[in-house]
Amino acid sequence: MEFEPVIGLEIHTQLATQSKIFCSCSTRFGAPPNTNVCPVCMGLPGVLPVLNQKVVEFAIKLGLATHCEIRLDSQFARKNYFYPDLPKAYQISQFDRPICENGWLDILVEGQTKRIGITRIHMEEDAGKLLHEDGEWSYVDLNRAGVPLLEIVSEPDIRTPQEAKAYMEKMHALVTSLGVSEGDMEKGHMRCDANVSIRPVGQEKFGTRAEIKNINSFRFVQQAIIYEIERQRDDILDGHTIVQETRLWDADKKKTYSMRSKEEAHDYRYFPDPDLPVVHFTREWVEQIRSELPELPEAKLQRFIQAYGLSAYDAEVLVNDRAVADYFEAVANLGADPKLVCNWITSELMRVMNERKVAITDTGITPDLLAELVRLLQEKTISGKIAKTVFEEMLKSGKQPSKIIAEQGLSQISDESAVLNMVREIVEANPDQVQQYREGKTKVFGFFVGQIMRASKGKANPEVVNQLLKQMLDL
Ligand code: ADP
Ligand code: MG
Ligand code: ZN
């Protein structure tokens, strides 16, 4: 039997506000435990929450960017449950009147655009953090309690693990380019719950879903869903029925495992929070925010394709990280060939970013340096191979490429008479191979090129070598 997966994601993104959602405590990451706290976010009795206006503005921004309807009278609700990291025993969230509804986001997968519906986006507060540092004790850190989040709930429109990854990446690109979130995955600024079910191909009714909680990377969302689809398929083929449950992803074992079943699921007893008034704002404010939106990734993608002649794939890779897109434009605007610049970013620079886990602005290679390197390559002062050497040296020393080339004598040798001497030497030193070549074994041509390049330490201009070598061998 053939099965089709059905997937819906709930993404939580932490907002880039200075202060928390209902008090003026700092949201700064990495402060000593329980130093960014006050009676409001510690849940002490007798205090009242006051809504941070910036959170509403960020929610509207994201709502507009995802084509949502914006509710002018949205409401906060209490989601009741007990946990040691939640001192009030309820989370302030939104329930039946969320601020944004009925939007969509387009994703690009294998060259195809696909539209994923967005059911709702709502504002809520984060909980604290539990630290299980030794065997005996657990500690509660409330610095994160009250940090603002947006929860973005998708329609069950996603059909493959790859689409889920693309959707999460696209959402990340969107919130970071809007400035709504810093999007630092290492700090947990974007987490998602993946709802996964499968159904026989052709069946309209959805299967029973499992919800995989708290996935914190693009790679893990894809891996967890791949695993989960397999698990459900095996279970069904073994004659079991899928139970609705919450599962967790174990990144080391690459497996999901059950956390609680539906029977144990919480009944959150949502009700409107009596401490917070309905969130009223005007249509004019919404329109003002719309008029101030920056260029969105979608528009940037089209512009990169048209203005710089990039492929949709290349443009997408650049646009997915706002800092990378800005960097690319800075280098291209310094007169370097856009396609070459894109190649250097997506291969060399992104490798360095991954290895060192740094942003493109922190690799030490400034736009000026890369632009100069690419120009030297374009002007054929250096070959592609030498350019890589120069790049590595730039990473180490931060020196200008022209300086490195001068210091190490790396300029490409294009002067015909100089190259001709090298070619002649190698040809004369290898009479057997010359014989073979002239008898029709033209494959040995590559042998000669290799020898000449080696003799010149990679500096001979390959085009000139090819041309002169061919002339000499074809005599
Ligand atoms: P809950 O509040 O229990 O998490 P929701 O109805 O809000 O439930 O749905 C949460 C997510 O689950 C949404 O993203 C939705 O698209 C997705 N979803 C709902 N039903 C299914 C299903 N049968 N298979 C996969 N995903 C589903
Ligand atoms: Mg859910
Ligand atoms: Zn506080």
Per-residue model confidence as pLDDT tens digits over 389-420: 999 999 999 999 989 988 887 777 777 888 88
Digit-coded pLDDT (tens) for 42-64: 999 999 999 999 999 999 999 99
> How far apart are alpha carbons 59 and 150 in whole angstroms?
7
Mutational test site, ligand 1, from 6, 9, 195, max ligand atoms within 8 Å of CB: 195
pLDDT confidence of residue 264:
67
Question: Residues lining ligand 3 (ion), CB within 5 A?
Answer: 23, 25, 38, 40-41
% of the chain with per-residue pLDDT over 70: 99
Taking only the tens place, the pLDDT of each residue in 59-111 is 999 999 999 999 999 999 999 999 999 999 999 999 999 999 999 999 989 88
d(CA 260, CA 263): 8
Bridge partners for 6 per DSSP: 197
CB 206 near ligand 1, within 6 Å: yes
pLDDT more than 90, % of the chain:
78
- Residue that has been written with the tokens 């967890």 in this structure: 224
Any atom of ligand 1 within 6 Å of the Cβ of 8:
yes
The DSSP output letter for 244 is P
Within 8 A by CB and 6+ apart from 297, the residues are 170, 173, 174, 177, 319, 320, 322
Would you state the pLDDT for residue 417? 82
Q: What is the mean pLDDT of residues 270-296?
A: 96
Rounded CA gap, 363 and 352, in Å?
A: 7
Average pLDDT over residues 311-332: 93
Q: What is the mean pLDDT of the chain?
A: 93
Interval 167-198: pLDDT, tens:
999 999 999 999 999 999 989 999 999 999 99
Q: What are 68's two structure tokens?
A: 């949502």
129-168 pLDDT, tens digit each: 999 887 889 999 999 999 999 999 999 999 999 999 999 9
Contacts of 260 (CB under 8 A, 6+ apart): 245, 246
In the block, residue with structure tokens 């009676």: 39
Per-residue pLDDT tens digits for 289-300: 999 999 998 899
Please return the burial class of 86, using the count of CB atoms within 10 Å of its CB with bins 0-12, 13-18 and 19+.
Answer: buried
Per-residue pLDDT, averaged over 9-31, amounts to 97
Task: Look at residue 135 in the predicted model and tell me its pLDDT.
Answer: 81
CB of 156 sitting under 6 A from ligand 1: yes
How far is it, in rounded angstroms, from Cα 318 to Cα 326? 9
Tell me what pLDDT residue 131 has: 92
